[in-house]
C-alpha cells in the first residue's frame, strides 16, 4: 500500500521495517512516492491471480511467525478490505470462481449511497465489495475493473482509539454492521490509503 511509515507510526500503529502486522496479515508500506491506495495483495488458496481486476499475487501460505505486536491505538486486527465494482453481477461470480467464499449480498443504502455490497470471507478478514452508486460516472462504466479502495481495522475500544489519535480520527458513527461503530482516519493523517477503525 502507498503511504509513509512515519505517518502510520504517528497514527498509533506499530511499524517494523515498513510493515504493519495485525493477526496473520502483513501490510507492506510502499512509501509516499508510490501514490495513494492499496496497490496489490497476495492470497493463498486461490486458483489463479485474476480477480476481476484486483492486482493479486499468489502466496504459498501463511508461514509461522511470532504474534503480531500491539498497537498504541488499540487496533487488534484487520477487519475488512474494501473494494468497488461497477457490476456485482460480474464481480461476484469472478471471485467465487477462484475460490473466494461469498457469505452474503446486502441490499440497502449505505451512508455513501451505494445500494449493494457483497461480503467474502478470507480467513480472518472480510473482503467487502461495494457496487458503485447508481447515477455516478463510475457506475456507468460497467466494463471497468473492480478496484481496491480502503481498509477497516478492528478495535475493542473506539473511544480509547479516538483519545489516542486525537484530530487524526473523525467522529464515531453507527456502522453498516448492526451494533458496531466506525470512525474514519482523516486524509490529513497521511496514511496514503483510506482507513477506518471499527468496533468488534
Sign of CA dihedral 100, 106, 107, 111: negative
Mean pLDDT score, 120-143: 92
- Rounded Cα distance between 37 and 25, Å, is 17
Query: Is residue 59 over pLDDT 90?
Result: no
Q: Which residues are paired to 169 by β-bridges? A: 185
Which domains are seen in the chain, by residue range?
5-199 (3.10.180.10)
Task: Give pLDDT, residue 61.
Answer: 60
Retrieve residue 3's grid coordinates: 503511504
Task: Give pLDDT, residue 135.
Answer: 86
State how far the alpha carbon of 112 is from the alpha carbons of 115, 116, 131, in Å.
9, 11, 11
Residue 165 pLDDT grade (very low, low, confident, very high; cuts 50, 70, 90): very high
Residue 63 pLDDT grade (very low, low, confident, very high; cuts 50, 70, 90): low
Residue 47 pLDDT grade (very low, low, confident, very high; cuts 50, 70, 90): low
Task: Give pLDDT, residue 24.
Answer: 87
Amino acid at each position: 500500500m502507498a503511504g509513509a511509515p512515519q505517518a502510520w507510526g504517528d497514527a498509533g500503529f506499530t511499524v517494523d521495517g515498513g510493515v504493519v502486522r495485525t493477526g496473520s496479515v502483513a501490510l507492506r508500506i510502499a512509501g509516499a512516492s508510490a501514490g495513494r491506495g492499496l496497490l496489490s495483495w497476495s492470497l493463498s488458496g486461490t486458483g489463479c491471480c485474476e480477480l476481476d481486476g484486483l492486482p493479486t499475487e499468489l502466496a504459498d501460505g501463511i508461514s509461522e511467525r511470532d504474534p503480531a505486536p500491539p498497537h498504541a491505538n488499540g487496533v487488534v486486527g484487520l477487519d475488512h478490505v474494501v473494494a468497488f465494482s461497477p457490476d456485482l453481477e460480474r464481480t461476484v461470480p469472478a471471485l467465487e470462481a477462484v475460490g473466494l467464499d461469498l457469505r452474503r449480498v446486502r441490499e440497502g443504502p449505505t451512508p455513501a449511497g451505494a445500494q449493494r455490497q457483497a461480503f467474502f470471507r478470507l480467513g480472518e478478514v472480510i473482503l467487502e465489495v461495494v457496487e458503485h452508486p447508481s447515477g455516478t460516472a463510475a457506475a456507468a462504466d460497467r466494463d471497468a475493473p473492480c478496484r481496491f479502495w480502503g481498509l477497516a481495522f478492528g478495535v475493542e475500544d473506539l473511544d480509547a482509539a479516538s483519545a489516542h489519535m486525537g484530530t487524526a480520527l473523525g467522529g464515531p458513527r453507527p456502522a453498516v454492521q448492526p451494533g458496531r461503530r466506525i470512525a474514519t482516519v482523516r486524509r490529513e493523517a497521511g496514511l496514503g490509503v483510506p482507513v477506518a477503525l471499527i468496533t468488534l
